[in-house]
Structure 1
């Protein structure tokens, strides 16, 4: 009977677990909105990230050097008797660069890493100002997690969302120079239990 008592204690402990973990962030970044939505063609995550771009990073952009951001989402099914079961995962890569000839800002968005040799399958957007381009980076819209048949619509889902400035894709001299510099530590993570909402 000892194992049964231990199992009941564990179940009570998990039942009291908080509904959402606090966001963990670097350089004042935060997640102001996190929403899980269902459409006819799948399940999507929408998120709104808040952060300010440090002046040092702006200077690098002004010199024509691109910077990269990564948004990741994991969807899990909670299991009180075992570790959570991961049922979906999606990643979005973003490349932000200044175009001196046109004096415009270009944002490339892709589900796979964006390399200098070619952008592959990506969405390209042009903006007149850096502020407008950053709004496009901060708004992670319609990140597709999978089909409803694979995910299921029963009960809340545990969503873990991560967003970061990816310094690993900077030119090698910059990668060495940014090590340990707080200005380049733009990152945030947030977990929450979310129920599916119908897209309008």
Structure 2
């Protein structure tokens, strides 16, 4: 029996066309994947700002009041409802302005807040302290309970007459600047939970604002 041998023929032109089509398709798919991958980051970026800030100078010291406006991104909200505590930090810094050199650091104050859902009571517990709050319960902190998350967040966002400096820290004849920084502190979250947050912009809740203070008006 005769053996029939078949041979496929291809020209250099057809191979080049196939390669060009493959490169074009691969590039188009890569661009599409990049857009898909980046979109959630844009969509989940939190909108946060210090909408109000007031610094009051009294004989007892310097007091700061502020309102920080933000909504919890969906992933952060879901984690809180499932019992993951949220840690917020407010930092205030007092600087004395100097025309001939960098501004001089006079003093600073920090407020730590821990917000956690209590499944047994179905209430939200907010702790506020001048030092980091741990699960051990050590340290001094003020605690409040709320029925709704919205009410608890309102307490986190509102800073009322927080003493950030003593009267002796403020020089009456100098100009000063008060810097306020507010953030969600992910470093205090459970370690395994932190590993899954890499590249997640929805957990980047941070904002800042400053206010200048002129020399004290003579009485």
Range class of TM-score, shorter chain: 0.7 to 0.9
Task: Considering fraction of residues, name the structure with more helix.
Answer: 2
Q: Does 1:116 align with 2:156?
A: no
Q: Quick check: which has more Rg, 1 or 2?
A: 2
| Preserved CA contact (<8 Å) 2:123 2:147 | yes
**88, 112, 132: which one pairs with 1:69?**
88
Partner of 1:3: none
Q: How big is the shift at 1:189?
A: 1.4
Paired with 1:177 and 1:44, the residues of 2 have a C-alpha distance of 38
**156, 159, 172: which one pairs with 2:191?**
172
Q: Deviations over 1:24-61 (max 9, x none)?
A: xx721101111111344321111111111011111111
Unaligned ranges ≥5, structure 1: 1-25
Q: How big is the shift at 1:156?
A: 4.3
Partner of 1:104: 123
Partner of 1:35: 54
Q: How big is the shift at 1:141?
A: 2.0
Q: TM-score, normalized by length of structure 2?
A: 0.74
Q: Which moved more, 1:86-95 or 1:38-47?
A: 38-47
Unaligned ranges ≥5, structure 2: 1-44
| Preserved CA contact (<8 Å) 1:49 1:138 | yes
Paired with 1:165 and 1:150, the residues of 2 have a C-alpha distance of 28
Q: Determine helix, strand or coil for the equivalent of 2:50.
A: strand
Q: How big is the shift at 1:195?
A: 5.0
Paired with 1:196 and 1:47, the residues of 2 have a C-alpha distance of 22
| Preserved CA contact (<8 Å) 2:89 2:113 | yes
Aligned length: 172
Q: Which moved more, 1:139-148 or 1:117-126?
A: 139-148
Partner of 1:192: 211
Partner of 1:23: none
Partner of 1:145: 164
Aligned pairs for 1:123-162 (under 5 A) are 123-154=142-173, 156-162=175-181
| More RCO (CA 8 Å, sep 6+) | 1
Q: TM-score, normalized by length of structure 1?
A: 0.80
Aligned pairs for 1:42-81 (under 5 A) are 42-81=61-100
| Preserved CA contact (<8 Å) 1:161 1:190 | yes
Q: Over aligned residues, Cα RMSD in angstroms?
A: 1.8
